Amino acid sequence: MRLRSVDAEETRLHHRVVHGYRRAYRIAGEGPAILLIHGIGDSSATWADIIPGLARSHTVIAPDLLGHGASDKPRADYSVAAYANGMRDLLGVLGIERATLIGHSLGGGVAMQFAYQFPERTDRLILVSAGGVGREVNPVLRAVSLPGADLLLSTLRLPGMRLQAGLFARLMRLLDTDLGQDAPELFTLVDALPDATSRSAFIRTLRAVVDWRGQVVTMLDRCYLTEGMPTMLMWGSRDSVVPVRHAYGAHAAMPGSRLEIFEGAGHFPFHADPVRFLSLVEDFMATTRPADWSRERWRELLREGLPVAKGPAESGVSADVERDLREASERSAT
């Protein structure tokens, strides 16, 4: 296969209006489609080091989710289901029928939701430090879900507070804490919320998936439906936002999935080691075939239901995974 070069002009932002809202996205390359879905408070710019490599042999689409980046920020539905619908409609506007989905953090939950809602349009799943597995999440995100969050976020943008936050981030890094791995990038997300409209969209998105007790949505109850769909999980061993324990739980709950741990990396493994990340994605794409969705098989899986319903001895899942699957019933299904 001949690889093509990709210049900076190809990865610039484009805009299309879908359902009356302006959507920003990057598109580059030619070949089978890959959809990159960023996390909460982030934008398509987070994939800057990844897009050129993938675009040498694929059509790469990296949108700014509604409420994020350069996309419109209306008072709207920011649930994972709504985002999945938005991804379907953007692909439709661009004339793309199927894609491999790569989702980071909240984007991982959106990718999983897309695969659940539109399995016939999903070739593969690559979930990176994905939300929607266990309840645990960084306490800061739980705090921001509480009333008064807008005031908290606006305070962090004050010059004096920003300096103190920077000093705190450096201290956490010097002490070699997990939070220290992610603090610089997390504070960059705060910088991406320059006005009340941006902060409101961020808070509405966060409250759709997190409350004071932790994550309120789950994909565990439907992971068994990924049987037959090539799936890879990538996680940083020192993720301070979504703990690496969730990676092992999702891997156990997703039949045939691959798991890759980035030792020493935090919540952004594709920033910590973009070369390895790109290599893993390329190998996964080259060694798997797109999912061959069957309506009949889908119906059979739905009728069989969750493996844990058969009991741990028959299902083969660990006690930890069984506990997480049962806890999932206490949270909203994605």
Q: Looking at the annotation, which residues are catalytic?
A: 105, 239, 267
Cα separation, 176 vs 9, in Å, equals 39
**Cα atoms found within 13 Å of the Cα of residue 213, Cβ hemisphere only:** 6
Please choose, from the candidates 35, 23, 36, 46, the residue with its C-alpha nearest in 3D space to the C-alpha of residue 186: 46
Cα separation, 271 vs 48, in Å, equals 9
Please choose, from the candidates 228, 226, 233, 257, the residue with its C-alpha nearest in 3D space to the C-alpha of residue 247: 233
3-state SS assignment for residue 317: coil
Cα separation, 110 vs 104, in Å, equals 9
Cα separation, 265 vs 273, in Å, equals 8
Burial of 176 (C-beta count, 10 Å sphere; 0-12/13-18/19+): exposed
Contact, 123 vs 32, CB < 8 A? yes
DSSP 19: T
Residues with Cβ within 8 Å of 7's Cβ and at least 6 positions away in sequence, in order, are: none
